[in-house]
Structure 1
Amino acid sequence: MERLQKVIAQAGIASRRKAEALILEGKVRVNGKEVRTLGTKVSESDRIEVEGIPVEREEKVYLLFYKPRGVISSVHDDKGRKVVTDYIGMFEERIYPVGRLDYDTSGLLLLTNDGAFANLMMHPRYEIPKTYIARIKGIPTREALDKLRKGIKLEDGMTKPAKVKVVKRDRKGQHAIIELTIHEGRNRQVRRMCEAIGHPVEKLRREQFAFLHLRGLNAGDVRPLTPHEVKQLRALAESGSM
């Protein structure tokens, strides 16, 4: 279910604000009945008309993208830098990233035009696990890793407990590679967590999002999610909701 004004806006008929005005003016019908209440929710099976013209909804698109480093998690950039939509080819639908990865972070990023799905994937209430591989400066002690496992205090509050393990240690003791799984999506969270234990991130890649992974893909590759994968993601989010 999505808000009526949002569906109208996504169909390209009017902006969200203009869609709200059309509803208030009685120019919108759902299943033949006039609707004047903002916030009315509609399903994909509902018939919507604006000023007597049927609304044709966009086909839902769900993509998995292996974002390279040096790419903006956006659909445009006023500085002329590469953005994620430069890699996905031509779509009539208006596709946007689900959440974001930092400019200097690579890895798995979802793209869609389904706002309800995007909210399910991003909202911390649904606790979607995200796994990162990080090369950090120095070798962390067990005590340092335990801080990440228990939750660590950042400037915007305590993090939830994370899963973390050391994958590889540099023989000279200068670097380590760790695998870190979190259920939140704060700005630069993994980098800030590692900095908080005294081991700044030198390189970072999101390896998994829920059960989705990057195996078989190269940086810059994109593939559609299968209907079964989309269904599984929805079920996972809904099972984790409070």
Structure 2
Amino acid sequence: MERLQKVIAQAGITSRRKAEKLIEDGQVKVNGKTVKELGTKVSPSDEIEVDGVPIDKEEPVYFLFYKPSGVISSVKDEKGRKVVTDYFAEIEQRIFPVGRLDYDTSGLLLLTNDGDFANTLMHPKFHVDKHYVAKVRGIPSKEELRKLSNGIRLEDGYTAPAKVKLKSMDRRKNTAIIEMTIHEGRNRQVRRMFEAIGYPVQKLKREGYGYLNLNGLNPGEARELTPHEVKQIRNLAVT
């Protein structure tokens, strides 16, 4: 037996908090009867409707995917470009990406059909470290990198402090490889941070998400998370 709002969230319809509001507003039915009690528990055999539409109750699944560059972090694309779910054609569940990686960014991306899990990880108040490796044009000084570490002003406000480390440099090609760890999830944030100090990103890869990494995977490959990993990452988000 699961709480009704959790089942609705796991179906990917909305967050658990918004599911609670739907229940309180009388927009949810269980076995044909309107339910307004938040403590209501349901079984897999119960029929649940939200705004008159039955929800499909699927077993939650969780995948770690090595997204290649040149792929859209979405379930479909109006321009017909390749999307991440194209790599999961044999998966029966209706999975979707947790957050996104830019079209031209590669690396670790989670996919699931658990809306509650996804909303928890993406909520701004929860801090999950995201580890990136960037190749930039130019070689930033320690002082310039310190600006990123302390937080830098972007058009949508100051960034939170970040962990930044110069990994290597190529003076002949005038490029540098820099590691950066952030916990925010603003649009194109890492690229915009480097642009703000005058060092545009040529290549960007997300190598880590919380405790998770890409070990053993090649671009375009995925693996299912273990129950322990799901619990770990969920606990990390809410602590």
For this structure pair, what is the TM-score category when the shorter chain's length is used for normalisation? 0.7 to 0.9
Which residue number corresponds to residue 222 of structure 1?
222
Unaligned 5+ runs, structure 1: none
1:28 is aligned to 2:26: no
Which residue number corresponds to residue 47 of structure 2?
49
1:99 is aligned to 2:99: yes
Q: Is the 8 A contact 2:12 2:116 kept in 1?
A: no
- Cα distance in 2 for partners of 1:44, 1:209 equals 33
What is the Cα deviation at residue 6 of structure 1? 3.2
Q: 1:132 to 1:49 in 2, by over 3 A?
A: same
Q: How does 1:40-79 map to 2 (within 5 A)?
A: 40=38, 48-50=46-48, 57-79=57-79
TM-score, L = length of structure 1: 0.83
Q: 1:46 to 1:88 in 2, by over 3 A?
A: closer
- Secondary structure of 1:94's counterpart equals coil
Q: How high is the sequence identity, in percent, across the aligned residues? A: 57
- Cα distance in 2 for partners of 1:25, 1:111 equals 28
What is the Cα deviation at residue 134 of structure 1? 0.2
- Cα distance in 2 for partners of 1:26, 1:97 equals 26
CA deviation vs aligned residue, 1:70-116 (integer Å, no higher than 9, x gap): 00000111111100011123222110000000000000000001011
- Cα distance in 2 for partners of 1:99, 1:227 equals 21
- Secondary structure of 1:233's counterpart equals helix
CA deviation vs aligned residue, 1:216-242 (integer Å, no higher than 9, x gap): 111000100000000101111121xxx
Q: Is the 8 A contact 2:135 2:202 kept in 1?
A: yes
- The count of residues paired between Structure 1 and Structure 2 equals 226
Q: Is the 8 A contact 1:4 1:40 kept in 2?
A: no
- Cα distance in 2 for partners of 1:73, 1:25 equals 31
Unaligned 5+ runs, structure 2: none
1:210 is aligned to 2:210: yes
TM-score, L = length of structure 2: 0.84
What is the Cα deviation at residue 57 of structure 1? 1.9
Q: How does 1:36-185 map to 2 (within 5 A)?
A: 36-37=35-36, 40=38, 48-50=46-48, 57-172=57-172, 174-185=174-185
- Cα distance in 2 for partners of 1:176, 1:90 equals 40
